A and B are shown apart, each in its own frame.
Chain A
Amino acid sequence: MTSRFAALALAAAFAFPSLASAQEVDPNVHARQSLMDLYAYNLGVLGAMAQARMPYDADAASSAATSLYHLARSGSARMWPEGTDSMSIEGTRALPAIWDDMAGFGEDFMALQTATETMMNAAGTDLASLQGAMGPLGSACGGCHQSFRQPQ
Chain B
Amino acid sequence: MMKRLVQGAIVLAALGGGVFWVLTRPSALPEETLAALTAHDADAARGEAVFWQGGCASCHTGPGVGFDALTEARLVLGGGREFATPFGTFYAPNISMDPQQGIGTWTLTEFATALTEGVSPEGEHYYPAFPYTTYTHATPGDVADLWAFWQTLPADPTPSRAHDVSFPFSMRRAVGMWKLLNFNTDFVRPVPTDPVESRGHYLVEALGHCGECHTPRDALGGLDRANWLAGAPNPVGQGRIPALPPQGWSAFDITAYLETGFTPEFDTAGGEMAGVIANTSRISAQDRAAIGAYLVTLRSSPSP
Contacts and interface: CB of A to CB of B under 8 A. Distances in A.
A93 interface: yes
Contacts of A139: 67-68, 261
B304 A152 contact: yes
Nearest to A48: B266
A18 interface: no
B271 interface: yes
B260 A134 contact: yes
A134 B262 CA distance: 10
A138 B66 contact: no
B262 A43 contact: yes
A120 B271 CA distance: 27
Interface string B211-250: 0000000000000000000000010011111100000000
B262 A138 contact: yes
Given A143-B66, A151-B271, A138 B260 contact: yes
Given A40-B266, A43-B266, A146 B66 contact: yes
Residues of A contacting B: mostly: helix
> How many B residues touch the partner, as a band?
20 to 34
Given A142-B277, A143-B66, A151 B270 contact: yes
A150 B238 contact: yes
Nearest to A42: B266
Interface residues of A, number: 26
A86 interface: yes
Contacts of A145: 268-271, 274
B275 to A, nearest CB: 7
B232 to A, nearest CB: 10
Given A135-B260, A145-B274, A152-B240, A40 B265 contact: yes
Could you tell me the dominant secondary structure of chain B's interface residues? loop
Interface in B153-189: none
Contacts of A149: 270-271
Contacts of B272: 151
Contacts of A143: 66-68, 274
Given A51-B256, A150-B237, A152-B304, A142 B268 contact: yes
Interface string A16-42: 000000000000000000001001110
A150 B260 contact: no
A40 B267 CA distance: 6
Contacts of B261: 138-139, 141-142
B239 A150 contact: yes
B75 interface: no
A44 B267 CA distance: 9
Contacts of A86: 238
Given A141-B268, A142-B277, A151-B241, 5 more contacts: A47-B262, A145-B274, A146-B66, A146-B271, A151-B272
8 contacts: A36-B267, A47-B266, A138-B260, A142-B67, A143-B67, A151-B240, A151-B272, A151-B273
